[in-house]
Amino acid sequence: MSPHAIAAAVTSAGRYRKREGSAVEAAQIHARVSKHPEQFERTSDGIRLLDARPTKDEQLVEQAGDPAAPWYWEGNVQASVARFLVVAGWTIESVADTASRQRGIDLLATKGGRRLAVEVKGYPGTVYARGERAGQPKPTAPTTQARHWFAQALLTAVLVGGAEERAEVAIAFPDMPRFQDLIARSEWALRRLGVRVFLVNEGGDVEELFGS
């Protein structure tokens, strides 16, 4: 497919738009192909997308999420944050298995000489999701349990930041009113401690409230 045809298709599909609103140009396609030789190949017929094998990042992200689970489940929040970091240029080094309640850092990423450890929490449901009591009502209100999970995440971030030399730390939650309130009330401490905060909405979009 020629660069001109690709540019026209991208513009028509609305997948990319220049800041001034003009159409995508063939020169931009050439530049992208040159920047990513691992993804594209120039042939006599034009530009061809190479067979894409899942990268390590993609494999780890896929393992973390579960489409059958609620969007606010910890594993899905974890997967959304991992995708967000990959797009931002981070490499995912490890992802804890949330379903099996694997211990350790939930999400570890690197970028250049930087290391980022992310503690992830979901939002509690009103019934038990697994075990002998699966489907039975929980005695603790979700808002109360969310407060406990928030405290656990913050403590873990502080401890990990002290144990992991030169590691940046972050906490991530589903975008729920309860977590929004707790984050707002703790902002002064989070900023002083240098803890980054991510919120994930129902569509899987990630917002970083502060930190970088």
Q: What percent of the chain has pLDDT over 90?
A: 44
Residues 35 and 136 in one domain: no
* Interatomic CA distance for residues 196 and 100, integer angstroms: 26
User: How many domains does the chain fold into?
Assistant: 2
Residue type, 109: A
* Interatomic CA distance for residues 102 and 111, integer angstroms: 24
Tally of CB atoms within 10 A around 125: 14
Residues 165 and 194 in one domain: yes
* Interatomic CA distance for residues 151 and 121, integer angstroms: 10
Residues 117 and 26 in one domain: no
Tally of CB atoms within 10 A around 166: 8
More confident residue, 36 or 186: 186
pTM: 0.68
Residues 17 and 35 in one domain: yes
Task: Reduce the DSSP state of residue 41 to 3 states and report it.
Answer: strand
Residues 22 and 83 in one domain: no
The length of the chain, given as a count of residues: 212
The predicted-structure confidence for 175-200, as pLDDT tens digits, reads as follows: 999 999 999 999 999 999 999 999 99
Residues 190 and 106 in one domain: yes
Statement: residue 11 has pLDDT above 70: yes
Contact 197, 210 (CB under 8 A): yes
Mean pLDDT of 50-73: 69
Residues 31 and 75 in one domain: no
Contact 117, 169 (CB under 8 A): yes
Residues 109 and 60 in one domain: yes
Statement: residue 54 has pLDDT above 80: no
Residues 139 and 175 in one domain: yes
pLDDT at residue number 184? 96
* Interatomic CA distance for residues 106 and 99, integer angstroms: 12
Rg (CA), the chain: 21
Residues 77 and 10 in one domain: no
Residues 45 and 60 in one domain: no
Give the pair of three-digit tokens for residue 53.
Answer: 């094998």
Q: Which domain holds residue 173?
A: 56-210
Taking the CA of residue 69 as centre, how many other CA atoms within 13 Å lie in the half-sphere pointing to its CB? 19
Contact 79, 64 (CB under 8 A): yes
Sheet holding 91-95, edge to edge: 91-95, 107-111, 114-120, 167-174, 195-200, 206-210
The predicted-structure confidence for 125-184, as pLDDT tens digits, reads as follows: 877 766 677 778 888 899 999 999 999 999 999 888 766 667 899 999 999 999 999 999
